[in-house]
């Protein structure tokens, strides 16, 4: 089993990512930690608790993390994409949480779990990288305990929030800079270049709606998100960014990767939050590289995600 911590800002696609991990026997879900992002921290934390309840996994500890970026305030949220509550205005359709957050904060909980771990732990950051930058900065001793960071973020050929920047990186570029080019931890980066190629269509969403209770519960959360993609991409469907990263956690190698150094633009110009991959240096042993997810068998991957979620309890 792969021990896993999910660091998240639910978020509709985060909801699918959590459900996918929760339904996977290969995964030992140690904790879910929350961060500001798609909506504010109060909503992302409440959503994480409710989603675990839906999945029948209320025993998984949830810890609250950063409510703002490391350095520069960032007022932008993604309520236009995910709804005012982060779940298309439908978070009230999820079961009430039977448990609250643990008293420890996200960084403390991650550090304690990593320090106690007897085998490498995967961390899946699928929101802004603030908690992860803080963890690595304040607890460097845990780095050897991290098997992989599997991060959803970045866009090599452009962004989804600005012309240059993807949402998670754009939300806290300084944190992303620290994690992607300031630390030597094995990292897979799953950028929008690939996640957009893995969009699901109306037939996939129909099959979801006809699935078990978890699948039906998720289906109810998709309306605003689906509407966003309808308006902006002119097609009926949606992009499950964060769930694509979780598929790689559950089935390592389902995404094909290529090693490359990545720098994050932290200036205040139009490129703020851009992720710049320097392919010239990909083979240079002196530079830190990350594994960038570049390709997958899209049909296989989407069938895998659907199968797991529709069979969920």
Residue 166, contacted partner among ligand BDR, Ca ion, none, CB below 5-8 A by kind: ligand BDR
* Minimum CB distance to ligand BDR, residue 127 (Å): 6
Beta strand 262-264 with 187-190 is unpaired
- Return the residue matching tokens 């448990």: 99
**Cis? peptide before 11, omega within 30° of 0:** yes
85 touches ligand BDR (CB under 6 A): no
Report the residue number, 63 or 261, with the smaller CB distance to Ca ion: 63
41 touches ligand BDR (CB under 6 A): no
29 touches ligand BDR (CB under 6 A): no
Nearest to 130 by CA among 54, 55, 44: 44
Among 7, 13, 172, 193, binds ligand BDR (CB under 6 A): 13
Please, which of residues 95-124 interact with ligand BDR by CB under 6 A? none
Three-class SS of residue 137?
helix
Among 168, 219, 222, 291, binds ligand BDR (CB under 6 A): 168
Report the residue number, 46 or 152, with the smaller CB distance to ligand BDR: 152
The answer to whether the CB of 244 falls within 8 A of the CB of 198 is: yes
Residue 240 dihedral angles phi and psi, to the nearest 5°: -95, 50
Report the residue number, 142 or 166, with the smaller CB distance to ligand BDR: 166
How many beta carbons lie within 10 A of that of residue 73, not counting itself? 6
**Active-site residue, 241 included:** yes
Catalytic residue among 43, 177, 228, 241: 241
What's the CA gap between 86 and 79, in Å, rounded? Answer: 6
14 touches ligand BDR (CB under 6 A): yes
The answer to whether the CB of 256 falls within 8 A of the CB of 296 is: yes
Report the residue number, 22 or 126, with the smaller CB distance to ligand BDR: 126
Report the residue number, 142 or 149, with the smaller CB distance to ligand BDR: 149
| Token code pair at residue 8 | 């998240």
CA 98 vs. chain centroid, Å, equals 24
* Minimum CB distance to ligand BDR, residue 242 (Å): 5
- Rounding to the nearest 10 degrees, give the CA dihedral for residues 153, 303, 96, 27: -70
Residue 187 dihedral angles phi and psi, to the nearest 5°: -135, 135
6 touches ligand BDR (CB under 6 A): no
167 touches ligand BDR (CB under 6 A): yes
Catalytically annotated residues: 241
Residues that bind ligand BDR (CB under 6 A): 11, 13-14, 38, 78, 81, 126-127, 152, 160, 166-168, 192, 241-242
């Amino acid at each position: 089993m792969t021990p896993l911590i999910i660091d998240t800002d639910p978020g509709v696609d985060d909801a699918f990512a959590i459900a996918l991990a929760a339904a996977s026997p290969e995964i030992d879900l140690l904790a879910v930690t929350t961060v500001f992002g798609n909506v504010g921290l109060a909503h992302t934390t409440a959503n994480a608790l409710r989603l675990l309840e839906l999945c029948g996994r209320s025993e998984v500890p949830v810890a609250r993390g950063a409510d703002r970026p490391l350095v520069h305030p960032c007022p932008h949220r993604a309520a236009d994409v995910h709804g005012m509550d982060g779940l298309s205005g439908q978070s009230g359709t999820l079961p009430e949480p039977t448990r609250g957050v643990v008293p420890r904060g996200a960084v403390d909980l991650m550090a304690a779990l990593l320090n106690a771990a007897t085998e490498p732990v995967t961390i899946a950051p699928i929101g802004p990288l603030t908690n992860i930058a803080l963890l690595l900065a304040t607890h460097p001793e845990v780095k050897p305990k991290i098997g992989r960071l599997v991060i959803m973020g970045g866009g090599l050929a452009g962004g989804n929030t600005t012309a240059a920047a993807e949402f998670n990186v754009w939300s806290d570029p300084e944190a992303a800079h620290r994690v992607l080019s300031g630390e030597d931890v094995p990292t897979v980066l799953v950028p929008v270049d690939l996640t957009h190629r893995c969009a699901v269509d109306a037939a996939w969403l129909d099959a979801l709606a006809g699935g078990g209770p978890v699948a039906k519960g998720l289906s109810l959360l998709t309306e605003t998100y689906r509407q966003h993609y309808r308006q902006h991409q002119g097609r009926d469907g949606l992009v499950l960014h964060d769930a694509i990263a979780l598929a790689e956690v559950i089935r390592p190698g389902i995404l094909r990767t290529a090693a490359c150094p990545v720098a994050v633009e932290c200036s205040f110009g139009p490129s703020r939050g851009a992720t710049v991959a320097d392919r010239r240096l990909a083979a240079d042993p002196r530079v830190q590289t990350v594994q960038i997810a570049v390709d997958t068998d899209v049909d296989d991957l989407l069938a895998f995600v659907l199968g797991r979620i529709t069979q969920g309890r």
